[in-house]
A and B are shown apart, each in its own frame.
Chain A
């Protein structure tokens, strides 16, 4: 990198991996997600979606554990799952892909996840504005009536320029 931009989000040097305004197919995006970056590393999987909601899953894995004594998953991967599920619910409701970033995300861990069980996150966009999207989600390990975590967050729409950076721009 030649120089560090003062605000990395202002970087104009890259090009987005997915063009803004492109149709959004959660199932196709899910396949991409499973094989790339952080989502691929932790093993996130697409399950289903509707008009304004998306459901993703995260199978239990030993190296994602937060407490070796109990085998309970760390909360980090659960936040990642809720972040992606809520983010994708916005695109599902918009009916198209638009670059956005997380403004804030709050997660309440209502109980410990059961060791060995897959975590499922169901998330919806409950209010969509021109520049902001309000989302909420629930993570559970088999029974949505007995959740592991609740999430609430806000995404902000941003310009496509600089939203993502190509490998060449980083070199």
Chain B
């Protein structure tokens, strides 16, 4: 668990994204609302939401790879974000779901929500390239 939190990149820390335990088998991320995440006045920036979805997808993949993850590097190949609702000035949650983690490619989905998990702000799919870590 602590190992996973150690993998949060500097960008995630700068944005105030934190690990908050596991939810249904995948890491749950939280982000307090702050000016650094605001787009149009009173709402989350779409890029801040997408950035959080990406971190959720990456952390879900790290959790899925477990021990194997130490020997590989994961590279985001692409992302498609669907925006469903405006994000307001409250805490935001995000969770990724690994659809498939193969030898070379991983397909991951992620969702972000606020007060109600059944009313997501945005969702995404992401593809990753999995490469052996050079010794």
Nearest-CB distance from B128 to chain A (Å)? Answer: 10
Nearest-CB distance from B4 to chain A (Å)? Answer: 15
Q: Is A2 an interface residue (CB 8 A)?
A: no
Which A residues are CB-close (under 8 A) to B42?
14, 164-167, 169-170
Q: Is A128 an interface residue (CB 8 A)?
A: no
Given contacts A37-B36, A102-B46, contact A76 B83 (CB under 8 A): no
Tell whether, in the assembled complex, residue B50 and residue A165 are in contact, meaning their CB atoms are under 8 Å apart. no
Report the interface size for chain A: residues with CB under 8 A from the other chain.
Answer: 51
Q: Is the interface of B mostly helix, strand, loop or mixed?
A: mixed
Tell whether, in the assembled complex, residue B54 and residue A101 are in contact, meaning their CB atoms are under 8 Å apart. no
Interface residues of A (CB under 8 A from B): 1, 4, 7-9, 11, 14, 16-17, 36-39, 41-42, 62-68, 73-77, 79-84, 99, 101-109, 112, 163-167, 169-170
Interface residues of B (CB under 8 A from A): 9-15, 35-43, 45-48, 50-52, 54-55, 75-83, 85-90, 115, 119
Q: Is the interface of A mostly helix, strand, loop or mixed?
A: mixed
Tell whether, in the assembled complex, residue A105 and residue B10 are in contact, meaning their CB atoms are under 8 Å apart. no
Given contacts A76-B48, A164-B41, contact A4 B88 (CB under 8 A): yes
Which of A76, A107, A112 meets B75, CB within 8 Å? A112
